[in-house]
Amino acid sequence: MPPATGQLADWGSRAGAFLIDWLMIFVPSFILDILTGYTKGVAFEVIGWLWGIGMWTWFSVQVGSSGSSPGMRTVGLKCVSKATGQYLGPGMAIARWLLHIIDSAICLVGWLFPIWDANRQTLADKVIGSVVVRAPAEGFSLVPRQ
């Protein structure tokens, strides 16, 4: 596959893509809350956590293998290695997702780094060596187009 290159993505596009992915994960949980009348027991809580972890993992694998999650495809973004321009691979993409915990743990400041950073990277991107670049928007799809 040729290197995926392009203009560095702005913070607004990245936030929009994240919001789309986040809604895909949390709307089903919200609907479950409504259907159960907010009387979730431990079983529903476990199902909610498993759903969230499973979906974030699935989206991360997509980022690693195709460069984009459903939200990223919708707004037109790709995540690639800064050094090679190639996709990260599923393992590194999952590590990137886990490292976003650091972005959140410091009062969400890590998520704001792309606003002022020259390479528009979050702290997780800096550790992994990835950048997010503009790409043609593909529209919404749950799975990458081949």
pTM comes to 0.87
Q: Which residues of the chain have pLDDT under 70?
A: 1-5, 33, 36-42
Residues 6+ apart with CB under 8 A from 26: 52
Q: What confidence score (pLDDT) does residue 129 get?
A: 96
Report the alpha-carbon distance of residue 4 to residue 139 in Å, rounded.
Answer: 18
pLDDT tens for 65-103 read: 999 999 999 999 999 999 999 999 999 999 999 999 999
Q: How much of the chain is helix, strand and coil, in % rounded to 5?
A: 60, 10, 35
The residue ranges of every structural domain in the chain are: 11-134
pLDDT at 31: 76
User: Which residues are CB-neighbours of 25 under 8 A, at least 6 positions away?
Assistant: 51, 52, 55, 56
Q: Which tokens hold the place of 124?
A: 């997780």
* Contact yes or no for 3/84 (Cβ under 8 A): yes
Per-residue confidence (pLDDT) for residue 40, from 0 to 100: 62
Task: Give the chain's length.
Answer: 146
